[in-house]
Structure 1
Amino acid sequence: MHDWLTHRVTATPEDLALIDTDTDTRWSFSGLDAAVDETAGRLAALGIETGDHVGMLMSTQLLSVCLVHAAQRLGLRLVPFNDRLTATELAGQIEHSDLSVLVCGADTEQLAVEAAGSTPVASVDDPQWAEVQSFRSVEPEPVEPVDWEFDDPQLMVFTSGSTGDPKAVVLTMGNMLASATASGFRLGVDPDDRWLLTLALYHVGGLAPVLRSTLYGTAVVLRSGFDPGTVADDIERYDISVVSLVPTMLSEMLERRGTLSDSLRAVLLGGAPAPESLIERCRNYSIPVFPTYGMTETASQIATARPQQAFDRDGTVGRPLLWTELTLVDDDGQPVESGQRGEIVVSGPTVTAGYYGDVDANVDAFCEHGLRTGDVGYTDEQGYLYVLNRLDDRIISGGENIDPGEIVELLRSHPEVDEAAVVGIPDETWGERVAALVVPKRETLSEESVETFCRERLAGYKLPRLIAVTNALPRTASGTIKRPAVRDQLSALAEADGDDSTEVISVASETDSVDAIPAESGPDAESTGDRQDEQSTGDATDEQPADSSETTNE
């Protein structure tokens, strides 16, 4: 197998491949192929060879897309870096990646120079620093597409680091191909599709549309940045049919424009749990939302719900994609039954080969059932997945294990609460106590109603001792809740009466309705707030195309 663009240009050379919204320029697959061939030739002229690791520190633009394809053409391992990080944060990742060169642009050159250390830096633009090599100063060398095997590493993508230091995830050609194929069966593929690229290329959620669109023979539409109103307008202006978003992006777009163009047939919504109110708004305005659960380690999607499934089953992220198998396990690593909470373990052809240069992480990440995601969830009797929280988010108070996902799920079911994050904060008596940060649906939130709501549905030791309200939860670039930031904010509030940005709405006394739980008590006490499965059957088999339009244009 060669790079996907080489195969695509043979099949449909004149079809639309890319639209650059910044310049309103359109590229056919043959035109894009020529630009990629030039990029690959310049890399070769700079001494880059098959098997080398090439870093990419660039904003989303035509040349960064060309670099993605050129790396595949030359048989390189591409390592995209987050250009929002500081030089100090980047330096460790660059050193860890064993790069032959770090490629940047004019807008990221200073950051690249400050972070690269001894790693050579090359710019696709005219360099501003003497030590930076120039793509434009070398003549492209002739290149031939290399042969790829399914097990050949294609990408190294760093995790977001929301629960620890970022790790370099190795993704193979087989991982990316399996992900693209399975996603196509779940979302569908139409020959006239246009996928708007709103997520950065240092995320698999940004890389995936670039590669998938090439495989499918459909167009990708580039944007250099995200502005809610402009992106919403571009969906209508360019007849966008597919877009990938995180919930905060979609919420902001709807706040600006009310609804979205009816040209859309799929809004792939991931990166963080979607508030129930957002899914309900999508239902009311006929927005075809596909809530999804995925990871860098699985080349993007693990499970994805189609719109009607999301509307009928609050909180679900759907069934696993084609070839993906899920096992939910208890603390001893034993599978649990449907309806019971457990750690989500995933296996299948999309799962990473491991983390680069991190033996300990690889040992910890895998078990007999597959990749341990570190996420807690459950499946209902029809196989629909519900993701609750991170395993390492568990709170231990008075010797009792408390699942914060259960409390988040309960708070989100309160009619006045839109979103919530629950963490443990230090407590001299109990070790940790439960604290919650909530986002209200309206400007005011009734303290009494929230307290009563929780007390009627939770055992005493699970009750939040501190509830604070804020306008938005702190999140990473991918939309994941920044739990350390939540914990720091709530810990500070526990020592003070509040600050300008957050209002304390409920602080219970230290002993009020708290059960004295002895250390030897087990963690299996059931809560009256536990979710019961009352779902209906009758959905179409997920391995079949959603409708007759789900075909490639070959």
Structure 2
Amino acid sequence: MKHLKDSDKIEYFTLNEKIFYFSVIDKVEYQNLNEYELKTINFISDWLNGKQEFIINTSGSTGIPKPITIFREQMIISARMTGKALNLKSGYKSFICLSTQYIAGLMMIVRSLVLNLQMTIVEPVANPYDLLKQGFEFTALVPLQLYEMFNNKDQDINLIDNFKAILIGGGDINQSLNEKIQNLQSPIYHTYGMTETITHIALKRLNGDIKSEYFTTLENVDIKLDDRGCLVIRSPITNNVEIVTNDLVDIISKNQFKWIGRIDNVINTGGVKVQSEKVEKVLEKILYNSDFSNKNFFVSSQPDKKFGNIIIAVIEIDFLSEEDINNLKNELKKYLAKYEIPKHIYFISSFLLTKSGKVDKLATIKEIK
């Protein structure tokens, strides 16, 4: 990035509609801050004071959350790579409505600081539409936030149609949301990454003339497969250490891959291995064309004396009748092999979530039982 004149440097940011100046960040009166504000201010203060190491918790979406150490230089490299990939320019306005306890929200702050973006930070809400009225060029959202903005008929979607880039991460993009995204002019990117890779190392354009089925890696990211068919990542972002993932992918080229699913989502039922994401894609299409469109769901397994494990589906809805469940199973039979069809379809009014806002599948299944 070009060296900025002092007159060009962003001097302040807003946090929950309060203005904070970088030059006096260490003099903030902490007793006037809530927990979210306190953690956010502490991180920004640590960054401005040159802190070199940060301990950050993984999200817990694929296992027990654990603390890992991330270095300042890794975060700077990641921010610059993203800035280059998205052509983010100094002075752009960034909107941050993610938890700053986890890497996704923290890296939005780092990108803003490294790339000299004007930050507006707010506590996470499901529908941030009303907070966007001042106009922004760059943001990162979870799928639920974008879905809620689309789903509110009183809201003019044009308000989110003037961004230079919108990142969507932390969950899958279902068919319903993907169709709505096609109506946007703002470039929308699905992200691939994890805490260990300092958020995303690859982006997939979801709309426009250059939308793609594949993730394209950021600059200087090397990818390969291990003997399980899972993605292995190496980059300056990872300190040039190989990160072995549990994500099954097809490598299309040296910088493109197609995500298939997680190897730990392979369900062994009666000796037959089933990729749960395959079942989810079929169920998603069936629900989309039924009275249950836009309902959240997931496919998992539960122990069984005969088969070892059986496939189950869980739908976030107040009630499903036996007739509803049988109709869904009959539709599934049209597209799936016998061993791929969920033996049980459960319903629950509300999924349980991890602290980072992702669906806690294990806890949700226990709640059903």
TM-score calculated relative to the size of structure 2: 0.83
Which of these two proteins has the greater Rg computed from alpha carbons? 1
Letter in 1 for 2:335: R
For 1:268-417, list aligned pairs within 5 A: 268-308=167-207, 312-313=211-212, 316=214, 318-331=215-228, 342-351=229-238, 370-380=242-252, 384-414=256-286, 415-416=288-289
1:212 aligns with 2:111: yes
Q: Which structure is higher in strand share?
A: 2
Q: Secondary structure at the match of 2:76?
A: helix
Contact 1:213 1:220 in 2 (8 A): yes
Cα distance change of structure 1 residues 473 and 346 upon mapping to structure 2, 3 Å threshold: farther
Q: Secondary structure at the match of 1:184?
A: helix
Letter in 1 for 2:360: K
Letter in 2 for 1:59: E
| From 310, 315, 321, the counterpart of 1:433 | 310
Q: RMSD in angstroms over aligned alpha carbons?
A: 3.4
Contact 2:54 2:69 in 1 (8 A): yes
Contact 1:157 1:202 in 2 (8 A): yes
| From 331, 337, 352, the counterpart of 1:459 | 337
Cα distance change of structure 1 residues 402 and 289 upon mapping to structure 2, 3 Å threshold: same
| From 7, 10, 15, the counterpart of 1:16 | 10
1:507-554, Cα deviation, whole Å (9 max, x unpaired): xxxxxxxxxxxxxxxxxxxxxxxxxxxxxxxxxxxxxxxxxxxxxxxx
Q: Secondary structure at the match of 2:173?
A: coil
- 2:97 aligned residue: 198
Query: Which consecutive residues of structure 1, in runs of 5 or more, have no partner in the other structure?
Result: 43-56, 77-152, 332-341, 354-365, 493-554
Letter in 2 for 1:400: V
| From 359, 366, 369, the counterpart of 1:481 | 359
1:226 aligns with 2:125: yes
Q: Secondary structure at the match of 2:231?
A: strand
Once structures 1 and 2 are overlaid, which stretch shifts more, 467-476 or 177-186? 467-476
CA distance in 2, matches of 1:171, 1:310: 36
Higher relative contact order (CA 8 A, sep 6+): 1
Query: Which consecutive residues of structure 2, in runs of 5 or more, have no partner in the other structure?
Result: none
**What is the aligned residue count?**
356
Q: Secondary structure at the match of 2:237?
A: coil
Contact 1:169 1:352 in 2 (8 A): no
Cα distance change of structure 1 residues 221 and 437 upon mapping to structure 2, 3 Å threshold: same
1:67, distance to aligned residue in structure 2 (A): 2.7
Q: Secondary structure at the match of 2:157?
A: coil
1:238-278, Cα deviation, whole Å (9 max, x unpaired): 21111111111221233232525133222211011121211
Contact 1:280 1:311 in 2 (8 A): no
1:375, distance to aligned residue in structure 2 (A): 2.5
- 1:536 aligned residue: none
1:309, distance to aligned residue in structure 2 (A): 6.7
Contact 1:210 1:220 in 2 (8 A): yes
Cα distance change of structure 1 residues 385 and 278 upon mapping to structure 2, 3 Å threshold: farther
Give the percent of matched residue pairs that are identical in Structure 1 and Structure 2.
Answer: 22
Letter in 2 for 1:476: T
